[in-house]
Amino acid sequence: MTSKPLSVTSLLAKKQNGGKITCLTAYDASFSRVLDEAGVDVILVGDSLGMVIQGQESTLPVTVDEMVYHSRCVARGKQRAFLVTDLPFMSYATPDQAARNAARLMQEGYAQMVKLEGGLKQVETVRHLVDLGVPVCGHLGLIPQSVNQLGGYRVQGRDEVSANRIIEEAKALEAAGASMLVLECVPTSLANEITSQLVIPVIGIGAGVGCDGQVLVLYDMLDISFGIRPKFSRNFMSEADDVGKAVEAYVAAVQTGSFPAKEHSFE
């Protein structure tokens, strides 16, 4: 696919025009090229690489050096897609630390946006990064870097108190200058409410079809991750001849609203 490279403003325009934003993870140049040519809008270099690439039990062991390396590899493979890279666990404990590590991801890893997890406690950090010219994507709901604190990988926001807290945090991140938000493993009704209330694009993973876009871990949707595939994912390789066709099927399913279906969402 050859077209103008996507940007923060073009992703915002896509939401405003009612289009769906497609996002997948990638960790190397070859998969990055496949995703880019299949029309994926956003490539996320996720710290999920700790699990699907390194075989770790969680994302926590991933380092900034590793994120820089994989982000740089992905950047070399893509032309059109917008590149977002995760700040890994404990790499943004203070605004100044976040700024130093975000600078590395952008200068050495060629990221166009950095993603961090957490709500109200990250507002000062988001504001600091944005003031320095760093585009930021927030991440609420199930935040994998806090898996030990959450007691496991569980759906968040099912009761009124926690749902209202997530709504408050989403608005606070937007007000601090975040340009995009990932919502993971929250009830569809909560995701719909947040998506309608925010100006910035909301990308769902296990958050229902009403979000402005969807993201999946590439290895999950290709059914090559070891272990149990998450409920919110779907095997797009089962009816595809090759990886490129599977990614094209994913892009089409997100754009038409056929994915995620009810069985990939939470009530």
Q: Which two tokens stand for residue 30?
A: 């070859």
In the block, tokens 């995620």 appear at 260
CA 107 → CA 20, 69, 75, 103, 160, distances in Å? Answer: 29, 12, 12, 6, 42
Exactly one of 184, 239, 248, 263 is catalytic; name it: 184
Contact status, residue 81 vs residue 40, Cβ threshold 8 Å: yes
- Give strand pairing partners of 205: 184
Q: Is 29 helix (H, G, I), strand (E, B) or coil?
A: helix
What dihedral angle (degrees, nearest 10) is formed by the CA atoms of 60, 234, 154, 152?
-40
- Judge whether 184 counts as a catalytic residue: yes
Contacting residues for 257 by C-beta, under 8 A, at least 6 apart:
20, 209
DSSP state of 258: -
Buried residues in 53-84 as b, exposed as e (16+ CB within 10 A): eeeeebbbebebebbbbbbbbbbebbebbbbb
The secondary structure element, H or E, covering residue 254 is helix 243-256
Residues with a catalytic annotation lie at: 184
